[in-house]
Structure 1
Amino acid sequence: MKKPFQFKQFTVHQDRCAMKIGTDAVLLGAWVEIENSVQSILDVGTGTGVLALMAAQRSSAEVIDALEIDADAYEQAVENFEASSWGDRLFCYHASFQEFMSEIDDQYDLVISNPPFYVEAYQTHDTQRNLARFEDALPFEHLIIGAGKLVSPVGKLAVIVPYTEEERMISLASHVQLYPERITRVKGTPTSEIKRSLLLFGRETSAIVTDELVIEFERHQYTEAYIDLTKDFYLKM
């Protein structure tokens, strides 16, 4: 069994999850603004449960729901939730987003997702890993349409996507009256190309706050901005 991933305030077991904890999820979980007024949060495609756990650590939200289609990942997320200090606020549904969206009447103050975004050309023979990694398991269109229904009138949607998909996500979101408020573009090093876009959407059009985040100066030499962002979570920060 692989060792669990130890954060400062919680532990994540991930041996039964196809997709392990990566920088993307931690970036989104640390970056997203969670105001004191946020009382309900939904994590779409929770995997290990790390985003929901980070939201629980950072907020006093009474309801933190998570959604996971893969049976093994769902069971592991539930176990990770129950082992945490916030088990009474965390709940995981075992369903596809499409099923959940059609059956749920609730709305959320914050919907967060680190969605799968590898195109079908790179599919593997591992069905579980494909579900976790590839966009056809949760197309961006489905995520945005669902968010349009599930984000409350004062709520927000926060996602991390490849930089190449930033414009498409913004265009899709506009069709369900979700508009970008904040964009952070992420680079691995000062000289590398932009790799990811962190996007925060709200219900009102506003001036968009944009900035850039560089993770490392060089291998394992992290920038002050990245350290400051993740220091409440990573043990070594």
Structure 2
Amino acid sequence: MGSPFNFKYFSVEQDRTAMKIGTDGVLLGAWASLDHEPFSILDIGTGTGLIALMLAQRSTAELIDALEIDEDAYEQAVENFENSDWGDRLFCYHAAFDEFVEEMQEEGMEEEEKYELIISNPPFYSADYSSGDAKRDQARFAEALPFEELLQGVSLLLSKRGKFAVVIPASEEEHFLKIGKQYALLPQRITRVKGTPSSPVKRSLLEMSFLESQLIEDELVIETARHQYTPEYIELVKDFYLKM
């Protein structure tokens, strides 16, 4: 049994899941806007449960649902939820996203039952991606959620005033936004993330909704040198990481 990853207000066991805690998830969980005070949240592909736990810490949402297809990861997320201070607000479903969407559609979701915030750090896979760990790459590949399927499902589950927050490879941003548009999901905020000031943009944090508004775009640099974090990055994640 590996040792848990300790955050300021919760711990995450991750020894049974191939997708370990990484910067992407922490960034997204800290960056997602809660200005519209969502009552209900859905985390698609929760893995260890990290983002759902971060949102439980940050928000007053009464209903935080999480979805996980991999059995080991699902069991681990349930355990992490139960061991947190917010176990009564967190619920994990063991299902694939398309199954979940179908079931919700069959039950005839009313507008007030739709989620006010949907968030996802989707297992993406591109041909040139390799982590050097075959099992981890396989987990990414097997569970990679096609963007089309993700955005279509989100468009069916998101409330009219809801927000959808996602982190994707920067190289996929244009493609992703184009698909989003087909489902009437428009970008509201985009933050492009770079490891250092001179490195290329690697990730795009996107917030989308059905509402038209002025697009806010900015850039976030994580460090200026190894372990020398920028004030912007520290400001974003300081409520979570122990040493920030």
* TM value normalised by structure 1: 0.95
Aligned to 1:37: 37
Equivalent of residue 141 in structure 2, options 134, 144, 166: 134
Q: Render the CA deviation track for 1:144-193: whole Å, top value 9, x for unaligned.
A: 00001011000010000011011111111111111000000000000000
- The equivalent of 1:216 in structure 2 is 223
Pair 1:89-2:96 in alignment:
no
**Aligned-partner SS, 1:145:** helix
Aligned counterparts of 1:31 and 1:134: Cα–Cα separation in 2: 26
Name the structure 2 match of 1:196. 203
Give the letter for the 2:77 counterpart.
A
Task: After superposing the two structures, state which structure 1 stretch, 133-142 or 149-158, moved more.
Answer: 133-142
Contact 2:190 2:216 in 1 (8 A): yes
State the alpha-carbon separation in 2 of the partners of residues 122 and 185 from structure 1.
19
Tell me the equivalent position of 2:9.
Answer: 9
Q: Secondary structure at the match of 1:87?
A: coil
Question: 1:83-118 deviations in whole A, cap 9, x for unaligned?
Answer: 000000000000000100100134100000001112
- Per the alignment, residue 74 of structure 2 pairs with 74
CA distance in 2, matches of 1:212, 1:16: 34
Corresponding position of 1:163: 170
CA distance in 1, matches of 2:68, 2:236: 26
C-alpha deviation, 1:125, in angstroms? 5.5
Does 2:243 align with 1:236? yes
Flag as ranges the 4+ runs of structure 1 deviating above 4 A: 120-125
1:41-89, Cα deviation, whole Å (9 max, x unpaired):
0000000000000000000001000000000000000000000000000
Counterparts of 1:23-34 in structure 2 under 5 Å? 23-34=23-34
- Out of 112-121 and 175-184, give the one that drifted further: 112-121
| Distance in 2 of aligned mates of 1:50 and 1:121 | 26
Tell me the TM-score normalized by structure 2.
Answer: 0.92
Structure 2 unaligned runs (5+)? none
Distance 1:135-1:233 versus aligned 2 partners, 3 A rule: same
The SS at the match of 1:134 is helix
Preserved contact between residue 36 and residue 59 of structure 1 (Cα < 8 Å): no
Given that residues 119 and 136 in structure 1 are in contact (C-alpha distance below 8 angstroms), is that contact kept between their aligned partners in structure 2? no
2:216, 2:30 → 1: CA distance?
17
RMSD: 1.5
Unaligned runs of 5+ in 1: none
The answer to whether the Cα contact below 8 Å between 1:19 and 1:129 also exists between their aligned partners in 2 is no
When the two structures are aligned, how many residues end up with a matched partner?
A: 235
